Amino acid sequence: MEIKSAEFVMSNSDVAKCPKNLVPEYAFIGRSNVGKSSLINMLTSRKSLAKTSGRPGKTQLINHFLINKNWYLVDLPGYGYARVSKSSKKTFQKFITDYFTQREQLVSAFVLVDIRHKPQSIDLEFMAWMGENGIPFSIIFTKADKLKPQAILNHVADYSAIMLETWEDMPNYFITSSSKNIGKDDVLKYIHELNENMKE
């Protein structure tokens, strides 16, 4: 799939105000500074569709971009923990969980993970929350250009070993590098196939 048009539609923090039309949505989310904006810009072949920043936490809103007039790319804030009042229980920011549990247009999410690091508990816990809530997602490993091929395989194997302790299967995943254009075609092909399957 080639992205011929990418238009910013809206930003907000209230799921009820997201677009009302039944256009398929694909949401991109990850920890702050995982390279999400760079990945979105790579996928869309736009240099500044999503704002990149060296300062973590730049994205604080739900951002909708209409792609090729027929699907939405949704740029979500980096997930962190928010404390629930009168409780020591930690939860993810409410409007992130609201988006995933209420948004009927969502086809799949992409959880971005920096491949350079060992599996992080916050990533694993967020994916566990997604699984518990029945929300389909794929993992996108970012910054693959920073590692040699064997190190990439080793890091994916580390993730797989940990996830298979609690998951039946390793979730679908992609290896990407925004600076080297790695993985772009694979991710876009996957989205295209999901869109085509919905037409059948």
pLDDT tens digits for range 131-177 = 999 999 999 999 999 999 999 999 999 999 999 999 999 999 999 99
Using DSSP's 3-state secondary structure scheme, residue 57 falls into: coil
Helix or strand (DSSP H, E) at 158: helix 149-163
110 secondary structure, DSSP code? E
In 10-148, alpha helices (H):
36-44, 94-102, 121-132
Tokens of 168: 């039946």
pLDDT score of 84 more than 70: no
- What is the torsional sign of CA 30, 31, 34, 36? positive
**Read out DSSP for 169-186?**
SPPPEEE-BTTTTBTHHH
Give the global pTM: 0.92
121-132 vs 149-163: helix axis angle to the nearest 10? 50
pLDDT score of 55 more than 70: no
Q: Are the C-beta atoms of 140 and 156 separated by less than 8 Å?
A: no
pLDDT of residue 88: 53
Please choose, from the candidates 143, 154, 129, 140, the residue with its C-alpha nearest in 3D space to the C-alpha of residue 190: 140
Question: Residue 121: which residues within 8 A CB-CB, separation 6 or more?
Answer: none
Domain map of the chain by residue range?
6-199
pLDDT of residue 80: 79
Question: Tokens 């190190």 map to which residue?
Answer: 151
**CATH, range 6-199:** 3.40.50.300
Segment among 13-27, 38-52, 185-199 with least mean pLDDT: 38-52
pLDDT confidence tier of residue 13, bands split at 50, 70 and 90: confident
Question: Tokens 């990945």 map to which residue?
Answer: 39
